[in-house]
Structure 1
Amino acid sequence: MARSRVELFEAIRRDYRRGVSLRGLAERYGVHRRVVRQAVDSAEPPPARKAPVRAAPRLEPFKAAIDAMLTADLTAPRKQRHTVRRVLARLVAENAAGDLSYSTVRDYVAVRRRELAAEAGRGRQEAFIVQTHRPGEEAEVDFGELWIRLAGVPTKVYLFALRMSYSGKAHRVFASQGQEAFIEGHLHAFDVLGGMPTVKIRYDNLRSAVSRVLFGRNRTESQRWVLFRSTMGFEAFYCMPGIAGAHEKGGVEGDIGRFRRNHLVPVPEVATLAALNAMIEDADRADDDRRLEHRLRTVGQDFGVEQPLLVALPVDRFEPGRVLTPKVNRYGLVGVRQSHYSVPARFIGLTVRVVLRASEVIVFDGRTEIARHERSVVKKSQTFVLDHYLEVLLRKPGALPGSTALAQAREAGVFTMAHEAFWAAAVKAHGDADGTRALIDVLLLHRRLPAADVIAGITIALHAGATSADVVAMEARRAQQVSRPDPGSTGAEPPATAREQRRVVSLTERRLAALPPDSRPLPSVAHYDQLLRRRAAGPAPPQQGEVS
């Protein structure tokens, strides 16, 4: 490892004190005797000599032309300014500067460009001022991109962050950064905080809030965003466009990166966005024990000071979803943001009302909810619910085996192995069409009875060899009574055993139980024994090979 000049001088001085000559020191350390004398005279090395500035006599006639080009660059678009090669090319073409070298022009441009920028007032070094925020007064909001593996598929989602400027807080993931996610993120953050900032919330120019950026800080806000702010009662402060504006809300800009690096690395693998948001809520709670830079107290302790100062939330809950009115197509689907969702088949051809939220899609007929789906994060996707098509499948049972609704029900675990077993048994007993209809009748039971009880009824019916939906319904209701007994019962009678309660009752047994007792003796076959004795007393049968 090479020594520094200070270490070299220290070694030379040490050996000189031990009696080594100047010549010997020069040979030992491979330096000139002048360096040895400098080390002996002073422990501090002399300052390095500056390289002399080389004169460029050939460049002198062209400096004015170069300065003119660089001065024009001060007001030119950033991506259309002179490079060194372009400067040299223009000098050759316009001023016949064929003798100039690239390095000569490069060195001059590097120095002169900075000097001209400083003379024009554009070369000042950017400075930042440390801010002190009062508790409960301000917050900052932004979105950040995030990659996850959603059900095994790499998917880009968006991390919403609302950070209280005094203490920090609240994150949530959405499938998009549309206005419904923007508003829903605010509502979630306000619920977590238990209130709103008293002065303002800082934003950049997100399209969810701003429809047009005007001069300075003036903005044309979207009408729904204005309605939301008016309902909730908080003020918005819009930062300057570009990088300069990002520094005005640097707290949330840095917080998104920190949160992503500390809690979302490696790439999260989740089945649903709800599971991911549960992880993020746990991470937010863990961050309560974190200390911000130069803070003595933790985030949780600072928030404890800040929370009582926040503005109370309004009583009326703002609906974050966007209202749409699509028409149900012939497949029983409504199109919402390049995705399709099923509704009950009886609404085919009708116009329904859809509330599009950040994480779910709710479909209404008037004021009655008819369908609710988790919002898809995949464009051109189709989301089916098998229950929506059961009435149609009763008329067209042959369409069930290959239906997409059945495939998605199997994938989601809604169509279980118990259903598969009942279907197979019903088809074997009644044929394809009638067996499938029996299965559909069983599936219709899920509308009135809990799924666990219906599956229990299927299991008992199959154990008894029954493939009737009526038997499944009876046993499902019995299972429901066992799992949830009547609260009005006194409990005086001893409960029947589980085996008796879950046994399928045979109609033949019920009829026999209602008949009077039979006192007649059991029939006898003793008279038929005479035939056996008479046959034994007859002639012996002929042997093989004998002629009778």
Structure 2
Amino acid sequence: MKGVDTIARIRREFFIRGRSIKDIVRDLHVSRNTVRKVIRSGATSFAYEREVQPLPKLGPWRDDLDRLLATNASRQPRERLTLIRVFEVLRGLGYEGGYDAVRRYAKGWKRERTAITAPAFVPLSFAPGEAYQFDWSHEIALIGGVTTTVKVAHIRLCHSRMLFVRAYPRESQEMVFDAHDRAFAFFRGACQRGIYDNMKTAVETIFVGRERAYNRRFLQMCSHYLVEPVACTPASGWEKGQVENQVGLVRERLFTPRIRVKSYDELNALLLHGVIAYAKAHPHPEERERSVWERFEAERAALVPYAGRFDGFHAVPAAVSSTCLVRFDNNKYSVAASAIGRPVEVRAYAERVEIRQDGRIVAEHARVFGRGQTVFDPWHYVPVLARKPGALRNGAPFKDWVLPAALDRVRRKLAGSADGDRQMVEILTAVLGDGLPAVEAACAEALREGVHSADVVLNILARQREPAAAVTLPTPEGLRLRHEPVADCARYDSLRRAR
């Protein structure tokens, strides 16, 4: 069939210039039937589609080809054969036709199958404060000069479409708790329902339908914020499509090009600034005249009031080694020397580690990630130094120990003495009883007087201690004096004269 340009020329020559069909045929080199069809139909384009495709050689092999195509489509994407491989398998069965016929048939087979299985969805609408959606994504960032895969927590309010994101080194449960707390503090409230996928930190068992057995600590968090958790159907990401779309949006706008930061704190500050800027600059998809931020400000009144921080820790039991160390998450943390010999409980938070024994805190450290790292608090080992003062010089916890200015000057002055380590240990041991401010003040006073020995510092501490308050006992009424005696010194004078 002729192209649209030829059809346009035929129509202009006939209807505008009034030329005959014979002249048009001679000038444009087309058939009379073509010119008549263009003039009579009034169409500006024609397309030809074969209604019936004869397949003389492929016809007997249609059932085999259907079976091969169906089997190939049911495989995992990585295991599927290319169409040329399917053609080779069919040739092995005895097919003698060409590849082009197989390709055309496979194209029609796929089109028909897609039309049958194409999913259809119903658009959803949420009331203010009704629900939020939660999900994780993995992104690439340059942190401290090292290319790092960060885990990003995504939370999105379903009504206003307001988003919140925060990056973490892990996807563990304490990170889930921290992400919820920071998001609700930013939103100034929570929603009535939270929509999740079946992540292991929240769901322990999947039953028929929507029945789930949730993790005990996760339920505690939901109860604290008055949120009802709802889990999606497995492999049905469209049930939380808003947060799924948010993952791609954040990846495109905030992580492209690759972010270069010094720490996670700097990264999260950039992410928070980015989501606020996006919300203020982009219109709401359902109310184009208002921005996402304006809809969010209006929704805040319908949120469940923020209940304060949830104590979101992940607790595991641990043992204390003879070197006052506790192993957790492939790293080691020091504890107070008094904790040796009994088990402890490690409470892991997103940014710190708290170690308890019998309800009291025996250590608290900033959390480290990676493997094989050891975190020391030198004050945990001061009671051990009282018995082994020689360990002060080469002890690993005391390497690069930053002491207050006055204590550090005393330590450097005592380093030249024969028993300098022993004297310094005596001063450090006094911190356990008198406190660091008092010992530092005593060291500063001793240095002003031009001395630095442990005896002088301990003497100053002894003088600075407040005396114990005198105990006054009540006097019984029968023993109380009615007439106080008057002192008469003349009696002593008479005794002196008699001598």
**Global fold match (TM > 0.5):** yes
Match of residue 254, structure 1, among 245, 258, 263? 245
Q: Write the distance in 1 (CA, Å) between the matches of 2:246 and 2:329.
A: 31
Name the CA shift for 1:401/1:130 in 2 (closer, same or farther; >3 Å).
farther
Q: Write the distance in 1 (CA, Å) between the matches of 2:108 and 2:291.
A: 48
Identity %: 26
Q: Deviations over 1:245-277 (max 9, x none)?
A: 211111112223323443445544555544444
Q: Write the distance in 2 (CA, Å) between the matches of 1:470 and 1:268.
A: 56
Name the CA shift for 1:150/1:308 in 2 (closer, same or farther; >3 Å).
same
Instruction: Report the TM-score, using the length of structure 1 for normalisation.
Output: 0.66
Q: Write the distance in 1 (CA, Å) between the matches of 2:459 and 2:164.
A: 50
Report how far residue 125 of structure 1 moved.
3.2
Contact 1:203 1:238 in 2 (8 A): yes
2:226 — aligned with what?
Answer: 233
1:175 — aligned with what?
Answer: 169
State whether structure 2 residue 326 is matched by structure 1 residue 306.
Answer: no
1:327 — aligned with what?
Answer: 319
Contact 1:174 1:359 in 2 (8 A): no
1:139 — aligned with what?
Answer: 132
Name the CA shift for 1:398/1:275 in 2 (closer, same or farther; >3 Å).
farther
1:367 — aligned with what?
Answer: 359
Name the CA shift for 1:443/1:271 in 2 (closer, same or farther; >3 Å).
farther
Q: Write the distance in 2 (CA, Å) between the matches of 1:470 and 1:280.
A: 56
1:530 — aligned with what?
Answer: none
Report how far residue 329 of structure 1 moved.
0.8
SS at match of 1:289: helix
State whether structure 2 residue 424 is matched by structure 1 residue 438.
Answer: yes
1:353 — aligned with what?
Answer: 345
Q: Deviations over 1:490-532 (max 9, x none)?
A: xxxxxxxxxxxxxxxxxxxxxxxxxxxxxxxxxxxxxxxxxxx
The answer to which of 349-358 and 437-446 deviates more is 437-446
2:178 — aligned with what?
Answer: 184
- The residue type equivalent to 1:292 in the other structure is H
Name the CA shift for 1:272/1:365 in 2 (closer, same or farther; >3 Å).
farther
Report how far residue 386 of structure 1 moved.
2.2
Q: Write the distance in 2 (CA, Å) between the matches of 1:404 and 1:279.
A: 37
Which structure is higher in RCO with an 8 Å CA cutoff and minimum separation 6?
Answer: 2
Q: Write the distance in 2 (CA, Å) between the matches of 1:48 and 1:339.
A: 72
Q: Deviations over 1:354-397 (max 9, x none)?
A: 22222211112323222211222213322222222233345545
Contact 1:454 1:473 in 2 (8 A): no
1:108 — aligned with what?
Answer: 105
Contact 1:422 1:439 in 2 (8 A): no
Name the CA shift for 1:339/1:304 in 2 (closer, same or farther; >3 Å).
same
SS at match of 2:177: helix
SS at match of 1:237: strand
Match of residue 414, structure 2, among 426, 444, 455? 426
Name the CA shift for 1:5/1:466 in 2 (closer, same or farther; >3 Å).
farther
Q: Map of 1:114-133 to 2, 5 A cutoff?
A: 114-115=111-112, 117=113, 123-133=116-126
SS at match of 1:251: helix
Contact 1:454 1:472 in 2 (8 A): no
Q: Write the distance in 2 (CA, Å) between the matches of 1:274 and 1:282.
A: 12
Q: Write the distance in 1 (CA, Å) between the matches of 2:293 and 2:198.
A: 30
Q: Write the distance in 2 (CA, Å) between the matches of 1:373 and 1:399.
A: 23
Match of residue 218, structure 1, among 204, 208, 211? 211
State whether structure 2 residue 159 is matched by structure 1 residue 159.
Answer: no
Q: What runs of 5+ residues in structure 1 fail to find an aligned partner?
A: 19-30, 477-548
Q: Write the distance in 2 (CA, Å) between the matches of 1:375 and 1:471.
A: 39
Name the CA shift for 1:153/1:423 in 2 (closer, same or farther; >3 Å).
farther
Report how far residue 430 of structure 1 moved.
0.8
Report how far residue 456 of structure 1 moved.
12
Report how far residue 307 of structure 1 moved.
1.7
Name the CA shift for 1:85/1:456 in 2 (closer, same or farther; >3 Å).
farther
Q: Deviations over 1:387-437 (max 9, x none)?
A: 222333455455445544345x56xxx46898776654432x314x62585
Match of residue 448, structure 1, among 435, 446, 453? 435
Contact 2:196 2:232 in 1 (8 A): yes
Q: Deviations over 1:66-105 (max 9, x none)?
A: 22333555766666666534543443444x33x3333332
Q: Write the distance in 2 (CA, Å) between the matches of 1:440 and 1:5.
A: 101
Contact 1:232 1:314 in 2 (8 A): yes
1:386 — aligned with what?
Answer: 378
Contact 2:165 2:271 in 1 (8 A): yes
Q: Write the distance in 1 (CA, Å) between the matches of 2:443 and 2:156.
A: 52
Name the CA shift for 1:260/1:55 in 2 (closer, same or farther; >3 Å).
closer
SS at match of 1:430: coil
Report how far residue 297 of structure 1 moved.
2.0
Contact 1:363 1:371 in 2 (8 A): yes
Report how far residue 226 of structure 1 moved.
2.8
Q: Write the distance in 1 (CA, Å) between the matches of 2:4 and 2:443.
A: 90
Report how far residue 310 of structure 1 moved.
2.0
1:193 — aligned with what?
Answer: 187
Q: Write the distance in 1 (CA, Å) between the matches of 2:252 and 2:404.
A: 40
Name the CA shift for 1:206/1:84 in 2 (closer, same or farther; >3 Å).
same
- The residue type equivalent to 1:58 in the other structure is K
Q: Write the distance in 1 (CA, Å) between the matches of 2:279 and 2:63.
A: 61
Q: Write the distance in 1 (CA, Å) between the matches of 2:446 and 2:271.
A: 43
2:497 — aligned with what?
Answer: none
SS at match of 1:379: coil
1:504 — aligned with what?
Answer: none
2:397 — aligned with what?
Answer: 405
Contact 1:133 1:165 in 2 (8 A): yes
2:480 — aligned with what?
Answer: none
Contact 1:418 1:459 in 2 (8 A): no
- The residue type equivalent to 1:175 in the other structure is P
- The residue type equivalent to 1:197 in the other structure is C
Report how far residue 343 of structure 1 moved.
1.0
SS at match of 1:216: coil
Instruction: Report the TM-score, using the length of structure 2 for normalisation.
Output: 0.72
Name the CA shift for 1:450/1:139 in 2 (closer, same or farther; >3 Å).
farther
CA-based RMSD: 4.9
- The residue type equivalent to 1:183 in the other structure is F
Name the CA shift for 1:125/1:323 in 2 (closer, same or farther; >3 Å).
closer
Name the CA shift for 1:34/1:424 in 2 (closer, same or farther; >3 Å).
farther
